[in-house]
Amino acid sequence: MTLRLALVSDIHGNLDALEAALADIERAGPDRTVVLGDLVLNGPRPVETVDAVMALEAAGAMVIAGNTDIAVADGDYSAAFPWLDEVPAGHRAAAEWAREALRDEQLEYLRRLPAERRLSFGDELLLATHASPGSQTAGLPADLDAAVTVQRVTRTDARVICCGHTHVADLRELGRKLLVNPGSCGYAFDGSPDACWALVTLAEDEEPEAELRRTAYDPQRSAEEVADRGLPGDVYRAATIRTGRFVR
């Protein structure tokens, strides 16, 4: 028996990227989709993005919240960005804009999302988390100190850790643990603007496997929509979407 999971993370309100990735995922035919948070902040289409994710969940997807979903739904900026001594006005403006755009039931949906989900398959346990086990904000970037990485990944018994947050696609074996970060579907930082996602395969009596995938789409329209919005920082957000590199 085999279980195939599609992972999507860090959509950030980029509906065009999400739709392109979902079309590719449909062609791949996984058994289930897992959405790893950060659904709406920064991008131009928060309403349509939440609707799309809610539809995915209704069809059986697992969905969790990311740190920026807290900023949008509840305006708790210190919880969403604890590494910042002072949260920039641009972060607040983008979160407030998305909050005002979303319907009440969409905001309640974001508030109800769990921070983590777990899935068992045979003897294997898979953890879906936004940043790292037990945290929506403490990520697992490739250049993180090795001792800190070990400390973070050993906070779970899960054999497979599925996370996002860094906006950089990553696939690593850490001891017996498999770390799968699909990268950002709509707001990438790793040099390609393509919509990132990943495919995880769990099979009985075999080691878990994963594949990082990218779906090409035209990021120009999303970038132009953000630039035309005119919020503080939108020129940088648009450049990030267009180039796939973090611009500030």
Q: What pLDDT score was predicted for residue 241? A: 98
Give mean pLDDT, residues 191-215.
Answer: 96
**Structurally, how many domains does the chain consist of?**
1
Q: Provide the 10 A C-beta neighbour count for residue 89.
A: 11
Q: What pLDDT score was predicted for residue 104? A: 98
In a domain, 248, yes or no: no
The CATH number for 75's domain is 3.60.21.10
H helix count then E strand count, the chain: 9, 10
In a domain, 37, yes or no: yes
CA 18 – CA 1 distance, rounded (Å): 29
Q: How many residues appear in the chain?
A: 248
Secondary structure (3-state) at 145? coil
* Band of pLDDT at residue 83, cut at 50, 70 and 90: very high
In a domain, 100, yes or no: yes
| In the chain, % of residues over pLDDT 90 | 98
CA 117 – CA 138 distance, rounded (Å): 17
- The contacts found for 222-226 with CB under 8 angstroms, 24 or more apart, are 222/14, 222/15, 222/16, 222/17, 222/43, 222/44, 222/45, 222/186, 225/44, 225/45, 226/42, 226/43, 226/44
Q: Provide the 10 A C-beta neighbour count for residue 38.
A: 32
* Band of pLDDT at residue 233, cut at 50, 70 and 90: very high
Give mean pLDDT, residues 80-101.
Answer: 97
CA 27 – CA 103 distance, rounded (Å): 31
Whole-prediction pTM value?
0.97
* Band of pLDDT at residue 121, cut at 50, 70 and 90: very high
Give mean pLDDT, residues 76-85.
Answer: 97
Q: What pLDDT score was predicted for residue 205? A: 85
In a domain, 105, yes or no: yes
In a domain, 106, yes or no: yes
Domain of residue 10 covers 2-243
CA 97 – CA 72 distance, rounded (Å): 9
Q: What pLDDT score was predicted for residue 248? A: 86
Tokens of 53: 């994710």
| In the chain, % of residues over pLDDT 70 | 100
Give mean pLDDT, residues 20-32.
Answer: 98
